[in-house]
Amino acid sequence: MNQKLSKADELFFVVDENDHPRASLPRKLVHGQGVWHRVSHVWIQNDKGQLLCQQRSLDKELLPGFWECFFGGHIRPNESYEQAAIREASEELGINVATRDLRLWKVYKFSDNMGYNNEFMGIFIIGWNGAIKDLTFNDGEVAQAAWKDIAEIKQAIREKGGRSWTSVGYELQLLDELEGERN
């Protein structure tokens, strides 16, 4: 089975518009029909207040090559937001995270209003002070990663949002809160 077919048949944790669990469905149906589903986003901050950002692989289905200030992915059937965050940190970066390391910021409801992507996003923050060279990008989802200052990210989202940085609507609020915690 080729990778594209296996990705299309990957099962997602499907929910209703109030985040109540429903039957699992394959990726191709979930995105094709705009079915509500869950994802986890993991924001990684070091002691300098910088965030670990990624450039998405050019092979990604949505927004290939764009930068974003979180890591994460779709939640599998019977998986919690926390379990998915831990799995994604390991798969995408090779970082081992324990549940106690996760700080839930919020569950954010997102709809692209085009009938393609309707998601509940479990958004977590973790502390990590490792070097980029210590990361492993084994799953092919990340092209590169870099530590970036919050002010730089905010400026990039405001100026380049829609052209080179992803933004689903909550990022600037969380960036403001993280910046406020540092001051």
User: In the chain, helix, strand, coil percent, each to 5?
Assistant: 30, 30, 40
Query: Is the pTM above the cut of 0.95?
Result: no
Say what the pLDDT of residue 80 is. 97
Whether the Cβ atoms of residue 73 and residue 90 lie closer than 8 Å to each other: no
Predicted confidence at residue 117, as pLDDT, reads: 87
Tokens of 9: 């048949």
Domains of the chain: 10-175 (3.90.79.10)
pLDDT in the model for residue 161: 59
Are 139 and 58 spatial neighbours (Cβ–Cβ below 8 Å)?
no
**Residue-level pLDDT, tens digit, the chain, 183 residues:** 334 435 768 899 999 999 999 989 999 899 889 999 999 999 999 999 999 999 998 988 778 999 999 999 999 999 999 999 999 999 989 999 999 999 999 999 999 877 778 999 999 999 999 999 999 987 788 889 999 999 999 999 988 656 789 888 899 999 999 998 876
Main-chain phi, psi angles of 110, to 5 degrees: -125, 135
Q: How far apart are CA 78 and CA 35, in angstroms?
A: 17
Per-residue DSSP letter, 134? G
